[in-house]
Structure 1
Amino acid sequence: MNFQRRITSALLTCAVLAITVLAPLAHAQQAVFRITAIPDESPTELARKAAPLVKYLESKLGVKVEFTPVTDYAASVEALVNKKVDLAWFGGFTFVQAHVRSGGKVIPLVQREEDEKFRSVFITSDPTVKTLADLKGKDVSFGSQSSTSGHLMPRSFLLDQGINPEKAFRRVAYSGAHDATIAAVASGKVQGGALNISVWDKFVADKKVDTSKVRVIYTTPPYYDYNWTVHADMPAALRQKLTDAFLSLSPATPEGKQILELQRATKFVPTKVENYKGIESAARSAELL
């Protein structure tokens, strides 16, 4: 009987030791740092852009990093606000929405240098359209309703010129993404479209659009746009690690060059909430916030 008790006691001790030793290891193995991005381009393009960045962040953070796609812009906001992801690539307007939705509990870390003076373009394939005024009575497409460069800021600049989309255009459409807007204009489904200038420039450079048929009729004034944002509950040390990782990206290294080119960036720079006050004002003026 004593022998059996000793055996049972020994087994229990081993079990406790196993749990004590293995539990932290299991937790460490399960730790995943999740990032997401507004779906402003096709899912395949977003995944292609994310892959080398994920690998780079894994090396800098020392944890597994996963890209978590979302179905729409609102889902990216909810994912970060509810801490389902750790890091989100937002447009200026989506950042403002997340900032308001969270009660100021999200923090923008970095933006591309290009995002300090970002622009949108209006394009057309209709030879009769030369100016924004010529779009009156036509079908015009924006991107997503929550897009900064594909909707909010183009709408804001239209309103500045006395053009109310719902009153001036025959039909207002929402393509959902910048590349989809180009496709809609190129196919003649709409006579005009507004989108992110960097996506337009990329399509032109890659010869994915026939510029003899589709052309820019208006380029907006500059404004602040995209950024990488985290929840304010993220430890300060981890926020700093992330910031340093982005600021360290350099075109002088093969890895940095690949990531920056895919992100359409020359470099990343620090950013702050105050940079997006203009976008918040535009959203409130357009009654979109």
Structure 2
Amino acid sequence: MKFSKLITAGISALILSNTTIAANLPDGSKDNPLRVLMVPADTGTNDITADYAPVFNGITKNYGIHFELRAGASYAAVVEGMCNDQADIAWYGAVTFGQANEKCGVDLLAVDVKKGNASYHSGIFVRKDSGIESIADLKGKGMAFGSPNSTSSFNFPVAMLIADGVDPVKDLSKVIIAGSHSASIAALAEGKVDAAAASYNSFGKAVKKGAIDPANFKPLAKSQPIPNPPLAMNKGLPAEMKAELRKAFGEIHTKIDPAKIRGYGGKKVDSYDTNFDVQKIFDALSKLSAVTKEVKAEMIDKAGQR
């Protein structure tokens, strides 16, 4: 009889425990908001509130879905955060989206759109008086890159080097892993390197801020169009919640001040495309096959020798 009571008590405790856990799972309510994690902005800061809060606050006001916004310490941390179920929504670059999808599976939520365009470009930038006129001219020169997990400040520029016959380890005299687009551009502006890898958006932002003088610097090479950094959802979110999120992001530009609609890096955009073909992201990533883990490791080692 006592044993039976113990079994009953144990089952009751387990049910109560599971009910408590379920009640505490993020469900978009005010008490259990969806956790949003973003790869660090190219400003190198973790203050994402000013750029992104208006959109998420607008969705909360109009659709009743609550969020908790955070910036990851690194690109890799945001991949791990999603795959360790510490995030329900994540803002990735194309490369980190691919990494997260390969590691644990993610669902595309949206990409931002401006003037009907849902893509951007990576570039390699040099001084105008450097005498560097082609990628081949970078042999024997020093170059700065952003994070090794960055789509446009590392992976595409490295692929562009390799495609034009420049070995980023053997042919570059110096490699600086600056950690962000803005830091890569700063290394060029300060004369630490002969070339810098960054997105065209980041170069334009640096010009606007006065961090670099366009009279003295120019783009050397421009990448193919790259899908804008995508918003992704945790595979474990309920289907109903995923549908609500797609509806909210697809309509939010009609619900709030259009000036508050922002894309990655804080740039102003027109809307979010929640029907974007995810295959376009994978097709872009297929161009990066030459940028292997070994190439990245060797470049990091070379950067450590500077």
Band the TM-score falls in, shorter-chain normalisation: 0.7 to 0.9
The aligned counterpart of 2:138 is 135
Residue 222 of structure 1: CA displacement? 1.6
Residue 164 of structure 1: CA displacement? 1.6
Unaligned runs of 5+ in 1: 1-22
State how far apart, in whole Å, the 2-side matches of 1:229 and 1:263 are.
19
Residue 110 of structure 1: CA displacement? 0.8
Residue 63 of structure 1: CA displacement? 4.2
The aligned counterpart of 2:203 is 200
TM-score (norm 1): 0.81
Where does 1:1-289 land on structure 2 (aligned, <5 Å)?
Answer: 30-41=31-42, 42-44=44-46, 46-102=48-104, 105-113=105-113, 116-125=118-127, 127-128=129-130, 129-250=132-253, 255-260=257-262, 262-269=266-273, 270-288=275-293
Residue 130 of structure 1: CA displacement? 2.9
Residue 245 of structure 1: CA displacement? 2.0
Residue 120 of structure 1: CA displacement? 0.7
State how far apart, in whole Å, the 2-side matches of 1:253 and 1:31 are.
24
CA contact (8 A) 1:118 1:222 kept: yes
State how far apart, in whole Å, the 2-side matches of 1:151 and 1:113 are.
23
SS for the counterpart of 2:193 is: coil
Q: Partner letter of residue 282 of structure 1?
A: K
SS for the counterpart of 1:190 is: coil
State how far apart, in whole Å, the 1-side matches of 2:204 and 2:63 are.
33
Greater Cα shift, 263-272 or 79-88: 263-272
Change in CA separation of 1:243 and 1:142 when aligned onto 2, cut-off 3 Å = same
The aligned counterpart of 1:16 is none
Report the aligned-residue RMSD.
2.6
Deviations 1:34-85 (A, max 9, x none): 1111114222553432222332232244243221221111100011112211
Q: Partner letter of residue 245 of structure 1?
A: A
Change in CA separation of 1:287 and 1:224 when aligned onto 2, cut-off 3 Å = same
TM-score (norm 2): 0.77
State how far apart, in whole Å, the 1-side matches of 2:267 and 2:82 are.
20
Residue 221 of structure 1: CA displacement? 2.1
Residue 253 of structure 1: CA displacement? 6.6
Higher helix content, 1 or 2: 1
Question: Identity, % of aligned pairs?
Answer: 25
State how far apart, in whole Å, the 1-side matches of 2:30 and 2:120 are.
40
SS for the counterpart of 1:159 is: helix
Change in CA separation of 1:245 and 1:202 when aligned onto 2, cut-off 3 Å = farther
State how far apart, in whole Å, the 1-side matches of 2:134 and 2:195 are.
10
Deviations 1:182-236 (A, max 9, x none): 1111111221111111122223344442112232222222232410001121112
Greater Cα shift, 147-156 or 118-127: 118-127
Q: Partner letter of residue 113 of structure 2?
A: E
Structure whose alpha-carbon radius of gyration is higher: 1
State how far apart, in whole Å, the 1-side matches of 2:206 and 2:289 are.
32
Change in CA separation of 1:45 and 1:211 when aligned onto 2, cut-off 3 Å = farther
State how far apart, in whole Å, the 2-side matches of 1:284 and 1:134 are.
23
CA contact (8 A) 1:139 1:172 kept: yes
State how far apart, in whole Å, the 2-side matches of 1:242 and 1:81 are.
20
